[in-house]
Chain A
Amino acid sequence: MLDANVLARAVPRWCAAMHAAAPELNALDGRLGDADLGATLDKCATLMEQALPVSPASPDSLEGIFKRCAQASAKASGSSFGTLLTVALMTAGKHCAGRELLSAQDVAALLSEVITTLSARGGAALGDKTVLDGLDAIQRALSGAAADAPALALAGAALRGSLDAFRDKPNRMGRARMFADKTIGLDDPGMVALLRMVEAL
């Protein structure tokens, strides 16, 4: 179950995890591209921490928190992953307008919309070995989850399964696309970033 309180408490943990994961993600990205993925998420996290917390006297809504995070992310970076994060958070904010509580199925529906939007904006398709494939694995796990199932544990397991399934496939997007065969055996840095995000929640 996701409500504004849960989300508000999750954002600082997400930010701390991005600070901690930055060196690992820079190194992973450096094997495939320009080594800025960790630095990008580190900057996004710093600005999100400044944008939150809100005063306990005026609790924010799901929509409000997502939009503030989106604005912070937009301010932090125009890199491809940073821009996709901004677009995902804006999409989540709009999706949550007027809603106070999301079930696991509701989160799955939100993720479907996020995947569609990111695919349209970024140009990747499912199967290209990008963060979209990680989101898709989580979406499928949550849409089939029982109401009382541990959603985050399911999401983490689905994501690890997706990393395993894609490890020996080639990347078909971004800089990694240019030497797709050399990416066989390597985890996609965006999917690993997503795993660190889910683990932090």
Chain B
Amino acid sequence: MKKILNDPQAYVDEMLDGLCLAHPELARRGEGGRVVVRRGGAVAGKVGIVTGGGSGHLPVFLGYVGEGLLDSCAVGNVFAGPRMDDCIEAMRAADGGAGVLQLYGNYGGDRMNFEMAAEMLELEGMKTASVRVSDDVASAPPEQREKRRGVAGLVLVYKAAGARAAAGATLEEVAATARKANDACRTIGVALTPCVVPESGKPSFEIADGEVEFGMGIHGEPGIWRGPLKTADALADEMLERVLPELAVSRGDRLAVLVNSLGATPSEELYILYRRIATVLAGRGVDIAFSLVGRYATSMEMAGASLSVMKLDADLEALLTAPATCPFWSVR
């Protein structure tokens, strides 16, 4: 293992220390400081949006706490769900009196802890709703979409729901927007090298030099096929073929496109992918109305990339382009 750290067991907490020092608009709350909130606290009268999940994916999840985005995040250990108490604390911190939407990736530990937290807070009279993001097409077939995992598409769903909440919508409206954005979003990833979970100190999976795993999840979950690495254009073509048909994308449609690094893959290579993706879409008469290229949802030092697309209507397009700011990203 070659990682820059002091103590593998302190990996998450020392990361949080540094992150809040670097970005004073964020603050830590809760026992052990595993809840990240906006320093100014909940916005009175606004629907609160809370997320949470394992560490090791920055900027996901906690990096999207900010104006026009999320209100709080419950932070788990690397690749492990947040604790129930931290989910509860995060929900309280997000509660501005208009209800709280739980918006997180569809993973077992995250789901169980958020469900238990909602049950506890509903007993106290808090109004809650829950939407689980499930954009990873490689994680289950289309007829079992409810079982799919949430990956980089989370960012686009956060943006849409966050903008709706910032505009003063009700809890039901914000939840409906999150559901609509999730339904319109699909992601596929490819991985070239594994990542190392600090506590274990070993690569999360093995892959030969010169091989690619097509469809791999953001924790190293095996994908659809593994084989010799193809050219960027060939990968881009196959990625598009995995995400466009499910959304029935056709001439005249407008899309949001996110080309995301899983961590180690440089922006240069992302732009080489984006070049092909934009060319193919233009050839089909499809407009890219909103594009993001960079590190938005990672798996620490894993090399690889993902493509997320969201099929837009005027409503979603307006929500994605509304102003927002967080430590890792801003839309103006």
Contact = CB atoms under 8 A, between A and B. Distances in A.
A123 B132 CA distance: 15
B200 A74 contact: no
Given A35-B197, A80-B108, A30 B220 contact: yes
B85 A74 contact: yes
A30 B81 contact: no
B204 interface: yes
B97 interface: no
B54 interface: yes
Contacts of B116: 121
B84 A78 contact: yes
B177 interface: no
A83 B81 contact: yes
Interface string A16-31: 0000000100110011
A39 B200 contact: yes
B91 interface: no
Contacts of B107: 80
Nearest to B34: A78
Nearest to A176: B221
A34 B220 CA distance: 6
B139 A27 contact: no
B108 A122 contact: yes
Given A74-B85, A80-B107, A175-B219, A39 B77 contact: yes
B323 interface: no
Contacts of A77: 76-77, 80-81, 83, 109
A160 B199 CA distance: 28
Interface string B204-229: 11000000000001011110000000
A79 interface: yes
A174 B77 CA distance: 18
Contacts of B219: 33-34, 175
A126 to B, nearest CB: 17
Contacts of A182: 222
B79 interface: yes
B4 to A, nearest CB: 19
B224 to A, nearest CB: 9
Nearest to A174: B108
Contact of A78 (B80, B147, B202, B217): B80
A68 interface: no
B221 A36 contact: no
Nearest to B224: A179
Contact of A36 (B79, B86, B87, B108): B79
B134 to A, nearest CB: 12
Contact of B54 (A31, A79, A177): A79
A156 interface: no
Interface in A42-62: 42-43
B140 A178 contact: yes
A38 interface: yes
A189 interface: no
A121 B116 CA distance: 9
B109 A35 contact: no
B83 A74 contact: yes
A170 interface: no
A34 to B, nearest CB: 4
Given A74-B84, A75-B83, A80-B81, A175 B200 contact: no
A175 B54 CA distance: 15
A171 to B, nearest CB: 12
Contacts of A122: 108, 112
B57 to A, nearest CB: 11
A134 interface: no
A102 B138 CA distance: 47
A121 B81 CA distance: 15
Nearest to B110: A78
Interface string A61-96: 000000000000011011111111011000000000
B221 A178 contact: yes
Contacts of A105: none
Contacts of B112: 80, 83-84, 87, 121-122
Contact of B205 (A30, A38, A39, A75): A30
Given A75-B85, A175-B149, A179-B221, 8 more contacts: A34-B219, A35-B79, A75-B83, A79-B77, A80-B112, A87-B112, A123-B108, A178-B139
10 A-B pairs with the lowest CB-CB distances in the bound complex, closest first: A79-B80, A34-B219, A80-B108, A78-B81, A80-B109, A39-B199, A78-B83, A26-B200, A34-B79, A79-B109
19 contacts: A30-B200, A35-B79, A35-B205, A36-B80, A39-B200, A77-B80, A77-B81, A77-B109, A78-B82, A78-B83, A78-B110, A80-B81, A81-B109, A83-B112, A122-B112, A123-B108, A173-B108, A178-B139, A179-B222
